[in-house]
Structure 1
Amino acid sequence: MAALFSPLTIGDLALPSRIVMAPMTRHRASYGKIPGELSALYYAQRASAALIISESTEIDPFSAIDVPTRPGLTNDDQEAGWRLVANTVHKAGGRIFVQLSHMGRTAHPSQLCGGRQPVAPSALAAAGTVYTAKGAEPYASPRALELDEIPTIVAGFAAASARAKSAGFDGIEIHGANGYLVDQFLRDGSNIRTDSYGGSVKNRARILLEIIEAIEAHWPLNRIGVRLSPTNPYQGMSDSDPASHFAQIAGLLDPLGLAYLHVVEPLVQPEGYPVTAAAIRLAFTGPLILAGGFKRAHAEQALAKGRADLIAFGQAFIANPDLPMRWRQNTTLNSADKSTYYTQGAKGYTDYPSLELVQG
């Protein structure tokens, strides 16, 4: 079976290894939710990844522009910022997909233009607190989307994907994981609708399939990926039967010929949580990316056993911009400074030393 450094082609995109840089929110976008030169440097430093998946990028035009914040892709300035990122990554020899997302019920009114009420498939608030300019605040109660509003959400994903094409990205990842809007539709703990977007698995997956179809107007299906997190409880998410439900969702995606399916499932699941990746692997015959705290040895084992085609790494890439080289040379890794994950500036972002710098 595959080894970590064996090449792979997804769609028509040739990858030099199986080492993917996972999407990671870093809160370095400037005022206006615009990625700048610092972000371009950050991603270019990590261009030796087989594939970079960008941080979660907003498609909601009503998302407020305060900093520190996540970036967006809804206007010309944001598109220009991402063009700089994509061009810089390509000059460094890398490949980059942009991850498109909508926060849904996890947005706080203070993070939305005019203090709008967050929207969701159902009027169920997320559990816990959200970090705002005033500190940690409880999640607000969302408003359930009306049927005639859902096409606008779908169109927002399509419009952002068109801007991504113009900006020079290599592909799109739809964020259907970690408690954001698409995930809120997919799981029955957050979606209790009784119309055509609720109830059955097929109905709950309808918005995801419509988003894919809308993006297909701008991108071939083999340049579109999807990220899922069947058992992640983050932000109060749950599902009554994730193994069965997400295998069915994977089955719905399988005939489309997507670039990949990206599944987040921790190596060590909390007690009582089912393992879903194996069932998804059986249902989805295209390239499968697994993420969930993998170390190198775990990744090699998963690839060797055919459990996945690629492995996504997060923290290891934060502290080691040249992670593939370090593993090729069997050298030690830098440790990540968690206190700088969501701060501003270069510290803990672009100042981690590369192996080349250390070796002189």
Structure 2
Amino acid sequence: MTTLFDPVQVGAIHLANRIVMAPLTRNRAPDAIPTPLMATYYTQRASAGLLITEATAISQQAQGYADVPGLYAQEHVEGWKAITKSVHAAGGKIVTQLWHVGRISHSELQPHFGKPVAPSAATANAKTVLIKDGVPVFVDTSEPRALELEEIPGIVQDYRHAALSAIAAGFDGVEIHAANGYLIDQFLKTDSNRRTDDYGGSIENRARFLLEVVAAVADAIGGDRTGIRLSPVTPANDAHDAEPQPLFEHVVRELAPMKLAYLHLIEGSTGGPRDLPERPFDYAAMKAAYRSAGGQGAWMVNNGYDLTMSEQALKDGADLVAYGRSFISNPDLVARLKAGGPFNKAERATFYGGGAKGYTDYPTLAD
């Protein structure tokens, strides 16, 4: 029987085990530049089969939270190079998550203090993070403006450029963030996409932006080094769709021919309940739609998995299991899962912003 600790080939990337560190925003990259402290943080966790970095902005326009890293300038590439080199020296594999937040931003973070962009000029009922006097402060998102039709190809090219920059920085691949109510998800969902042009209305139109982004990235670096993260029913960042089942079955059928390395699925509410009675969704049917269309990418599950649940997921056909908050407080989570614990408790007050405290100072079993 397949276990969490067995190796697996994921596209072009060979993983030592099936345990994945999920992307976790930590707000410790001033001026969007990755730091040596971040290299320590990721290297401490390199025993995971795969590390997915915190969400990383593809442009300044894509920034939505203070002190999150970028991948759109040479100084960003150089900062990430030190991190990927250190992770690889420790035997790990690492991909970066490419991010455009869309309307989940604040004018203080935008070029020339402009409005955030979105499919439609609909403000999200959501918060973002600014740093005031060195302290993270949660504030309401700003009113966005609707993207003009002629602007969309430029954003697709920003994804492509960021993917090429990721490879130049030494990453093993990229994950496209198409979940949690950010820009790609905003195009997908009916509540945030009220367009009447080729990018709005029908399922095919609302999925168009996602498919253009994935095609551009896969063309640039190879589908076998490209993953995508999806969240069909999470309410995170005010994300809502009237009929998510046909929408996401269409999406994965269209993704199947692109020969992606993996699909990363958030089941239920991101970081919250797995079962949402008001938002029923059949993930098995979604996976069946992907496989029946010829999709061969690894299937990664995510949201509140413990060891028992993970083993059952593998029995049910999952290939990878992503762990988020568990990796914050347990840098050696792989060893702790193998030993059955114990597990450190995370300090929530240090999740966002700050320095080493609550970031690189959690003990390991060897300490």
TM-score, normalization: structure 1?
0.94
Match of 2:49 in 1: 50
Partners of 1:68 and 1:270 in 2: CA distance: 31
In the alignment, is the contact (CA less than 8 A) between 1:109 and 1:115 conserved in 2? yes
State the alpha-carbon separation in 1 of the partners of residues 89 and 20 from structure 2. 18
Aligned amino acid, residue 92 of structure 2 = G
Counterpart contact for 1:45–1:321, Cα < 8 Å: yes
**Contact 1:23–1:54 at 8 Å: present in 2 too?**
yes
- Partner residue of 1:313? 323
Identity %: 45
Evaluate the alpha carbon distance shift between residue 103 and residue 64 of structure 1 in structure 2; reply closer, same or farther with a 3 A threshold: closer
Q: Aligned ranges for residues 88-167 of structure 1 at < 5 Å?
A: 88-133=86-131, 135-167=137-169
Q: Does 1:202 align with 2:204?
A: yes
Of residues 99-108 and 202-211 in structure 1, the stretch that sits farther from structure 2 once superposed is 202-211
Higher deviation after alignment, 166-175 or 285-294: 285-294
Unmatched tracts of structure 1, length 5 or more: none
Q: Report the CA distance between 1:42 and its aligned residue.
A: 0.4
- Match for 1:263: what amino acid? L
1:33, CA displacement in angstroms? 0.7
Contact between 1:63 and 1:113, CA under 8 Å: does it hold in 2?
no
Distance 1:310 1:11 in 2: 13
Q: How many residues align?
A: 354
| Structure 2, unaligned runs of 5 or more | 292-296
SS in 2 for 1:300: helix
Whether the aligned pair in 2 keeps the contact of 1:337 and 1:348 (CA below 8 Å) is yes
Counterpart CA distance in 1 for 2:345 and 2:366 is: 17
Alignment of structure 1 residues 280-295 onto 2, 5 Å: 280-285=286-291, 286-295=297-306
The secondary structure found in structure 1 opposite 2:54 is strand
Q: Does the CA-based 8 Å contact 1:63-1:111 persist in structure 2?
A: no
Shift of 1:265: 1.1
Match of 1:272 among 257, 261, 278: 278
The CA RMSD over aligned residues, in Å, is: 1.6
Contact 1:126-1:235 at 8 Å conserved across structures: yes
Query: Which residue pairs with 2:307 in the alignment?
Result: 296
- Alignment partners' CA distance in 1, 2:281 and 2:308: 20
Deviations 1:135-191 (A, max 9, x none): 443322211111100011001111111111110000010000011101101111111
Deviates more, 1:258-267 or 1:102-111: 258-267
Q: Does the CA contact (< 8 Å) of 2:66 and 2:130 recur in 1?
A: no
Q: 1:229, 1:63 → 2: CA distance?
A: 19
- CA distance 1:191–1:63, change in 2 (3 Å): closer
Whole-angstrom distance in 2 between the partners of 1:81 and 1:301? 39
Deviations 1:283-330 (A, max 9, x none): 223211111111111111111122x21110001111111111112222
154-163 or 206-215: bigger deviation: 206-215
How many Å separate the matches in 2 of 1:59 and 1:121?
A: 17
Q: Compute the TM-score of the two structures, normalised by the length of structure 2.
A: 0.93
Alpha-carbon deviation of 1:276? Answer: 3.6
Aligned AA (1:92): A
Q: Distance in 2 between matches of 1:345 and 1:281?
A: 40
Q: 2:263 aligns to what SS in structure 1?
A: strand
> Does the CA contact (< 8 Å) of 2:226 and 2:261 recur in 1?
yes
Q: CA deviation at 1:133?
A: 4.0
Letter in 1 for 2:26: R
Structure-2 separation of matches of 1:25 and 1:136: 14
Q: In the alignment, residue 27 of structure 1 is paired with which amino acid? A: N
Aligned: 1:2 with 2:2: yes
- Cα shift at 1:132: 2.7
**Hey, what's the Cα distance between the residues in 1 that align with 2:54 and 2:127?**
21
Residues in 1 aligned to 2:151 and 2:346: alpha-carbon distance in whole angstroms: 42
Deviation at 1:68, TM superposition (A): 4.8
Q: Which amino acid aligns with 1:317?
A: F
1:252-267 equivalences under 5 Å are 252-266=254-268
- CA distance in 2: counterparts of 1:199 and 1:276, whole angstroms: 23
From 221, 229, 236, the counterpart of 1:219: 221
Task: Decide whether the 8 Å contact of 2:104 with 2:126 is kept in 1.
Answer: no
Cα distance between partner residues in 1 of 2:25 and 2:138:
18
CA contact 1:127–1:235 (8 Å) conserved in 2: yes
2:62–2:99 contact (8 Å) kept in structure 1: no
C-alpha deviations, 1:213-262, integer Å up to 9, x for none? 22234311111000011111111110011122111111111121100010
1:26-75, Cα deviation, whole Å (9 max, x unpaired): 11112x2111110001000000101000000001234679x951100110
Report the Cα distance in structure 1 between the residues aligned to 2:86 and 2:111, rounded to whole angstroms.
31
Matched, 1:336 2:346: yes
* 1:182 corresponding residue in structure 2: 184
Question: Structure 1 residues 131, 13: closer, same or farther in 2, change over 3 A?
Answer: closer
